[in-house]
């Protein structure tokens, strides 16, 4: 195993080829960004050209006498100034058009070089898999054990990535629903103040609907929060329970119609519920921030492990 095998030589050649194609692809992306930027400028210059041309045509159609009353200087001086401005914009416009033309020509050449990158990547993977099998069948216990360890770490890291992604999705879904709940609670927050205004019955009905919608979305949010907690548990964290029971809303509709307690108490209950929901939202946001940080570290770890694996396979 110490001598370089034919398979290792093939891997090295294919790896060099793939590395070159990756650089070509990166250059293609950079050129495409430049073309997009230049096309934006070209559109601006086109508008400026149109404006400058209209200014010239307008000036050419203006009599010397009327122009004398409008501006200082002669018509010919003004016309020369407008033509000079038109020429400056025209030159910039043509310059950018020419640069785009050259870059598009370069893209055409590079695209032909990079068109088989997927094929080369597939061939490289096949060679790497063959080399991996060769090492795992070898008598070199140290190299074999090192490779197996790295492969296991890579597999675990991919599993963690998947679980983090699932947790983030459920957390973000929960946030969306909770923000809807908060928006409806805000509509109901000043419920008591409306009792002494005109059309209080109609406005009270609107507020009553706001509470109903808040409860409806809260129920859906609780389902998502339970799923979020489960995904966090799958990651190995302590099971985090988010409790947002419907009972926390109290019987607002009964309070509204039966007037059993004061409006002030109803307002306080709404405010208290809002504070609780906002607290949960803050908690979820902090957890999501942590998850995304862990995902970034895990991704970096995967990249390092793959480099280690490839080094073993190419050495």
> ∠209-214-219 over CA atoms, to 5°?
130
Cα 21–Cα 26–Cα 28 angle in degrees, nearest 5: 95
- Helix extents (H) in 115-140: 117-136
Domain at 6-138: CATH code: 1.10.287
Q: Half-sphere exposure (CA, 13 Å, Cβ side) for 119?
A: 4
- The secondary structure of 141-190 as a DSSP string is HHHHHHHHHHHHHHHHHHHHHHHHHHHHHHHHHHHHHHHHHHHHHHHHTT
Domain residue limits, the chain = 6-138, 155-314
Closest residue by Cα to residue 212 from 190, 192, 187, 195? 187
C-alpha to C-alpha distance for 45 and 35, rounded to whole angstroms = 15
The residue to which tokens 């590395």 are assigned? 19
Q: How far apart are CA 192 and CA 208, in angstroms?
A: 12
H or E segment to which residue 101 belongs? helix 75-114
Tens-level pLDDT at each residue, the chain (315 residues): 445 577 777 877 887 888 888 888 888 888 898 899 889 988 888 888 888 778 777 766 655 444 444 444 565 677 777 778 888 888 888 888 888 888 888 888 888 888 888 888 888 888 888 888 878 887 778 888 888 888 888 888 888 888 889 889 988 998 998 899 888 888 877 655 545 445 455 555 555 677 778 878 887 888 888 888 888 887 775 445 555 544 444 343 344 434 434 556 667 777 777 888 888 888 889 889 888 998 998 899 988 988 888 888 877
For residues 314 and 11, the answer to whether their CB atoms sit within 8 Å is yes
Closest CA to 44 of 56, 52, 33: 52
CB 40 within 8 A of CB 32: no
């Amino acid at each position: 195993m110490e001598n370089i095998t034919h398979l290792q030589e093939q891997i090295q050649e294919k790896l060099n080829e793939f590395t070159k194609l990756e650089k070509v692809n990166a250059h293609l992306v950079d050129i495409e960004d430049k073309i997009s930027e230049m096309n934006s400028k070209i559109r601006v210059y086109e508008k400026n050209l149109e404006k400058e041309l209209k200014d010239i045509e307008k000036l050419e159609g203006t009599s010397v006498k009327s122009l004398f009353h409008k501006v200082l200087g002669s018509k010919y001086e003004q016309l020369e100034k407008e033509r000079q401005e038109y020429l400056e914009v025209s030159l910039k416009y043509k310059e950018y058009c020419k640069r785009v033309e050259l870059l598009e020509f370069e893209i055409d050449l590079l695209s032909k070089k990079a068109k088989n990158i997927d094929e080369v990547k597939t061939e490289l993977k096949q060679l790497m898999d063959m080399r991996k099998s060769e090492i795992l069948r070898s008598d070199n216990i140290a190299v074999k054990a090192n490779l197996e360890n790295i492969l296991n770490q890579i597999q675990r890291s991919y599993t963690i990535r998947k679980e983090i992604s699932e947790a983030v999705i459920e957390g973000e879904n929960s946030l969306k629903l909770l923000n809807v709940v908060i928006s409806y609670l805000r509509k109901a927050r000043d419920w008591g103040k409306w009792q002494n205004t005109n059309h209080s019955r109609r406005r009270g009905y609107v507020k009553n609907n706001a509470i109903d919608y808040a409860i409806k979305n809260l129920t859906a949010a609780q389902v998502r929060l339970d799923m979020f907690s489960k995904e966090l548990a799958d990651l190995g964290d302590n099971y985090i329970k988010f409790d947002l029971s419907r009972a926390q809303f109290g019987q607002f509709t009964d309070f509204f119609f039966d007037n059993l307690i004061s409006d002030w108490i109803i307002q306080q209950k709404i405010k208290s519920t809002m504070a609780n929901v906002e607290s949960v939202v803050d908690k979820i946001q902090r957890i999501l921030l942590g998850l995304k940080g862990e995902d970034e570290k895990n991704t970096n770890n995967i990249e390092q492990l793959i480099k280690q694996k490839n080094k073993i396979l190419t050495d």
